[in-house]
Amino acid sequence: MQLDDLYRQVIMDHYTRPRNQGQLDEADLTIDLKNPTCGDEITLQVLVRDGLVDDVRFHGSGCSISMASASMMTEAIKGQLVERAMELSREFRNMMKGAEADYDCLGELEALSGVAKFPARIKCATLAWNALERVQADRGGKVDESSS
């Protein structure tokens, strides 16, 4: 099996069987974002306790890339320190820009690396990550504004 085929399977698995999808009743913050270019929408809800992403959920509609990315992101950050979640966001953005990225850090998120070859789809892949960074900004954390 080719690596590209494996990556496609990972993306389609997350699209057809999204993880952490639904409502979070005890969310600290809820962010709604829309990609005006293609109409993808996401609502991200995060519960932070003692500096950890205790729970995270999303719901929305959009293409397979945006929904798979949201599912994969929630899996990657759930149970992590907020700082680690933001580090993952930076590395994911580096990967999307075609810049040097820490693929060991990204783990399964590397399956989305091929999106970087299609500039019009990068906004789809980063929609959930934009929402995460907005959550951090709304919590009073610093966000790299140049990454939006």
- Tell whether 38 is covered by a domain: yes
* Residue 97: pLDDT over 70: yes
- Tell whether 87 is covered by a domain: yes
- Tell whether 10 is covered by a domain: yes
- Tell whether 145 is covered by a domain: no
Q: What CATH number did the domain enclosing 135 receive?
A: 3.90.1010.10
Number of structural domains in the chain: 1
* Residue 91: pLDDT over 80: yes
Q: In this predicted structure, what is the pLDDT of residue 141?
A: 59
- Determine the average pLDDT of the residues in 53-75: 97
- Tell whether 105 is covered by a domain: yes
- Tell whether 17 is covered by a domain: yes
- Tell whether 147 is covered by a domain: no
Asked if residues 147 and 133 have their Cβ atoms less than 8 Å apart, the reply is: yes
Provide the residue range defining the domain that includes 89: 3-140
Residue 147: pLDDT band by 50, 70, 90 thresholds? very low
* Residue 142: pLDDT over 70: no
DSSP state, 24?
-
- Determine the average pLDDT of the residues in 88-104: 95
Q: In this predicted structure, what is the pLDDT of residue 144?
A: 38
Q: What percent of the chain has pLDDT over 90?
A: 80
Cα separation, 89 vs 82, in Å, equals 11
- Determine the average pLDDT of the residues in 138-148: 50
Q: What percent of the chain has pLDDT over 70?
A: 93
- Tell whether 146 is covered by a domain: no
- Determine the average pLDDT of the residues in 32-52: 94
* Backbone dihedral angles phi then psi of residue 112, each to the nearest 5 degrees: -90, 5
- Across 6-15, 120-129, 130-139, the highest mean pLDDT is recorded for 120-129
Cα separation, 60 vs 18, in Å, equals 11
